Structure 1
Amino acid sequence: MSTPEPFRPHVGVHLILIEGDKVLLLLRANTGFADGLWSVPGGCLDAGETLPEGAAREAREELGIDINPADLDFAGVCHHADPDGQARIGVFFATSRWGGEPVNAEPSKCDKIEWFPLDDLPGDVVSYIRAGLGAYQRGDAFSLDGWQRRETPARDMNLYRPYFDLVSAGRKSVEVRVLYSNLRDLAAGQRILFRCDGDECLTKVVRVAVYDSFEELLDTEGPERVNPDSSREQQLANIRRIYGPEKEALGVLAIEIERVQP
């Protein structure tokens, strides 16, 4: 009987830089992984370095700041299964002590850096990074991300081009549907793969809410979250051109979504 080769996962180091009640995020670009999404500073652990040393090195490379590895507090581990089928280990460290002013030191890999309140992060954060930050806020040393997503196929949904482009750009955070029987079991944590003319955009369901009418949905959720480029009245007219009164009577779904890396 042969012995299976031990699995050696990729190890990443990630920095939670705290200033007051805010955390520093970077908008990824041109890396081939999670481009267009926000993340904390970090990257692959190099051979021969300790985890804190790797985190301090990433701070120098990405932000131009100096951190003493001894000033890094362990903030948790996230075991995440990414959409490419690979399982990875992300080790998080937190600190509010560093030398220098953080700048975008790698503009070829990062569009910009920005401080965000820990309790009000943008919607388009890399999935496992959001899980790691959530665990840090709760004081949990360990978190999982993506394992349910890996096992459960994404639901396919078609979108008209204007709405697809808004979702793809991270500008549309609420999708409107009616309560067909095949959507009754839709729940937070599931994935939706939106399609339009051969293009695809993978999203995760954050929340599902049911309303009696489209007016109630728009007034509660906010029309700008459904379509930031259209007025409430115009959106209501457009929605009712798609769904007649008999469809609206089934119940109205507000599906809060966030993009995930392809």
Structure 2
Amino acid sequence: MAAGRYCPRCGGPTGELPAKCGACGYETYLNPRPTGTVVLLRGDGTFLAIRRAHPPREGWWDLPGGFCEGFEHPAEAAVREAREELGVEVELGEFAGMHIGVYEFQDEQLPVLEHFWVATIKAGHIALDPAEGSEYAWLPLDDPPEMAFPSMDVVLRNPVVRRSS
């Protein structure tokens, strides 16, 4: 079933989003899903990337991060995701940007509102979650590979990130 075809409240037909159900009047919108992501830097001009272990973009380099839970602030999500994916506690630094992106999920192109912070590891040793990544590497910020999502390519060129490295 494609998103927006049926009302989530009464099941009546609605058409594509945004939509107002003709049966019950419920309005449904396609809003971006917020994310929180860290750009972990070392003082040697490198950043930490994870090779994605699952679709979408399986096998591409990714930054540690993910979707916010219900009412979770994106900064809290960034810290939580780093802990879950890498097994480390991070300290957030400067906010490095917010971008609208696209995430493919269940054969749909979903809008995402991506939030990025410069960060450093403050406690722990990297223990990559194999469900999230097949490997990790410290890559050169001056010559990064193409990342899994275009917004990551943009944020790696951001002056906030460059001057923090």
TM over 0.5: yes
Alignment of 1:79 onto 2:108: no
Query: Do 1:103 and 1:113's aligned partners in 2 also have CA atoms closer than 8 Å?
Result: no
Identical pairs, percent: 26
| Post-superposition CA distance 1:70-122 (Å, at most 9, x none) | x4421100112456532211100112252122231x11331100001111112
Higher relative contact order (CA 8 A, sep 6+): 2
Q: What is the deviation of 1:6?
A: 4.1
Residue 134 (1) aligns with residue 157 (2): yes
* Whole-angstrom CA distance in 2 between matches of 1:55 and 1:136: 20
Shifted more, 79-88 versus 44-53: the winner is 79-88
Deviations 1:146-197 (A, max 9, x none): xxxxxxxxxxxxxxxxxxxxxxxxxxxxxxxxxxxxxxxxxxxxxxxxxxxx
Contact 1:16 1:23 in 2 (8 A): yes
Number of the residue aligned with 2:137: 114
The Cα of 1:49 is off from its aligned counterpart by: 2.1
Distance 1:76 1:124 in 2: 16
**1:47 maps to 2:63:** no
Match status 1:92 vs 2:113: no
- SS state of the match for residue 69, structure 2? coil
Structure with the higher fraction of residues in helix conformation: 1
| 2:88–2:123 CA contact under 8 A, matched in 1 | yes
Q: Counterpart amino acid of 1:26?
A: I
Distance 1:89 1:111, change over 3 A: same
| Alpha-carbon shift at residue 123 of structure 1 (Å) | 3.5
Give the Cα separation in 2 of the matches to 1:110 and 1:55.
Answer: 16
Aligned residues of 1:78 and 1:131 also touching (Cα < 8 A): no
* Structure 1, unpaired ranges of 5+: 140-262
Residue 260 of structure 1 aligns with which residue?
none
TM-score (norm 2): 0.70
SS in 2 for 1:61: helix
Q: What residue ranges of structure 2 are gaps of 5+ in the alignment?
A: 1-19
Q: Tell me if structure 1 keeps the 8 A contact 2:47–2:140.
A: yes
Name the one with the larger strand percent.
Answer: 2
1:56-71 equivalences in 2 (<5 Å): 56-68=79-91, 71=92
Aligned length: 134
RMSD of aligned alpha carbons: 2.4
Does residue 43 of structure 2 align to residue 8 of structure 1? no
Is contact 1:16-1:95 (8 Å) kept?
A: yes
In the aligned structure 1, how far is the partner of 2:93 from the partner of 2:160? 16
2:33 and 2:111 in contact (8 A); partners too = yes
Does the Cα contact within 8 Å between 1:52 and 1:72 map onto a contact in 2?
Answer: no
Q: Does 1:25 align with 2:49?
A: yes
